[in-house]
């Protein structure tokens, strides 16, 4: 009974989300910090502090994603590895086609707003990101 109620509320929330629009895709660009991961079985993992964040750069439906580590002086370190990205549209949905030397996969863009990004992979794992806010020791 309790799980049915939680599932019903989750479905209601997802159905209330507005569809991603083509003009929203520019909001992908920038630094995103993972906030939460929801596994296919409904289990959720919260992330309070992240050592790495994702930097997205997409222009004309192509670009890359790269893991970066924020530094206390406001700069970022990276290992130089980038995933190439293509934004593709299938019916009313948008997907990121991700590719590295090791594999290729798609992630559905569930939502992209000024401060929130939600991606879902084919294993039904939902990744919720928040826009990264740099920290300062000043």
Digit-coded pLDDT (tens) for 35-47: 999 998 989 999 9
Q: What is the pLDDT of residue 138?
A: 57
Which one, of 62, 113, 54, lies nearest residue 84 by Cα?
Answer: 62
Question: Is 136 domain-assigned?
Answer: no
Q: What is the pLDDT of residue 8?
A: 41
Q: What is the pLDDT of residue 133?
A: 85
pLDDT-derived band of residue 2, with 50, 70 and 90 as boundaries?
Answer: very low
Question: Is 10 domain-assigned?
Answer: yes
Q: What is the pLDDT of residue 137?
A: 61
pLDDT-derived band of residue 3, with 50, 70 and 90 as boundaries?
Answer: very low
Question: Is 81 domain-assigned?
Answer: yes
Where are any strands of DSSP class E within 2-125?
A: 30-38, 44-46, 53-59, 62-70, 76-90, 93-100, 103-112, 116-121
Question: Is 137 domain-assigned?
Answer: no
Total count of domains within the chain: 1
Q: How far is CA 48 from the centre of its chain?
A: 16
Question: Is 123 domain-assigned?
Answer: yes
16-30, 44-58, 90-104: range with lowest mean pLDDT:
16-30
In angstroms, the CA 42 to CA 66 distance is: 27
Which residue is it, tokens 């159905």?
15
Question: Is 85 domain-assigned?
Answer: yes
pLDDT-derived band of residue 49, with 50, 70 and 90 as boundaries?
Answer: confident
In angstroms, the CA 138 to CA 132 distance is: 18
pTM for this one? 0.82
Question: Is 138 domain-assigned?
Answer: no
Total residue length of the chain? 138
Question: Is 64 domain-assigned?
Answer: yes
Q: Show the domain range for 11.
A: 2-131
Q: What are the residues facing 35 on neighbouring strands?
A: none
pLDDT-derived band of residue 11, with 50, 70 and 90 as boundaries?
Answer: very low
CA atoms within 13 A on the CB side of 54: 22
User: Which CATH number covers residue 37?
Assistant: 2.40.128.280
Residues 6+ apart with CB under 8 A from 33: 47, 50, 53, 54, 129, 130, 131, 132
Digit-coded pLDDT (tens) for 70-117: 988 889 999 888 999 999 999 999 999 999 998 999 999 999 999 999
Cβ atoms of 33 and 130 within 8 Å: the answer is yes
């Amino acid at each position: 009974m309790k799980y049915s109620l939680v599932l019903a509320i989750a479905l209601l929330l997802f159905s209330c989300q507005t569809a991603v629009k083509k003009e929203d895709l520019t909001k992908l660009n920038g630094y995103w910090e993972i906030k939460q991961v929801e596994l296919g079985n409904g289990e959720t993992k919260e992330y309070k502090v992240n050592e790495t964040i994702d930097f997205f750069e997409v222009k004309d439906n192509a670009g890359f994603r790269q893991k970066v580590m924020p530094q206390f002086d406001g700069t970022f370190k990276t290992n130089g590895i980038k995933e190439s990205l293509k934004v593709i549209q299938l019916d009313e949905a948008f997907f990121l086609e991700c590719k590295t030397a090791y594999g290729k996969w798609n992630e559905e863009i569930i939502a992209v707003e000024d401060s929130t990004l939600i991606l879902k992979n084919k294993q039904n794992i939902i990744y919720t990101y928040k826009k990264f806010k740099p920290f300062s020791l000043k």
